[in-house]
Amino acid sequence: MSLNKLIKECAKNDRRAQKEIYHLFAGKLFSICLKYSKNKQEAQDNFQDGFIVIFDKIGQFKFKGSFEGWIKRVMLNSVLQKYRSRRVLNIVTEEIPDEVIVDIDDDDISLDFLLSLIGELPERYRLVFNLYVLDGYSHKEISKMLEIAEGTSKSNLARARAILKQKIESHQEQQESI
pLDDT digits (tens, 9 = 90+) for 113-143: 888 889 899 988 999 999 999 899 999 999 9
Domains of the chain: 3-86 (1.10.1740.10), 111-177 (1.10.10.10)
CB-CB contact of 23 with 13 (8 Å): no
Amino acid (one-letter) located at 55: F
Q: How far is CA 73 from CA 17, 78, 97, 112, in A?
A: 20, 8, 31, 25
- In this prediction the pTM is 0.73
- Report the alpha-carbon distance of residue 99 to residue 38 in Å, rounded: 25
Tell me the average pLDDT of the chain.
Answer: 86
Does the structure show a pLDDT above 80 at 91? no
Amino acid at 65: G
Q: For position 78, what pLDDT does the model report?
A: 93
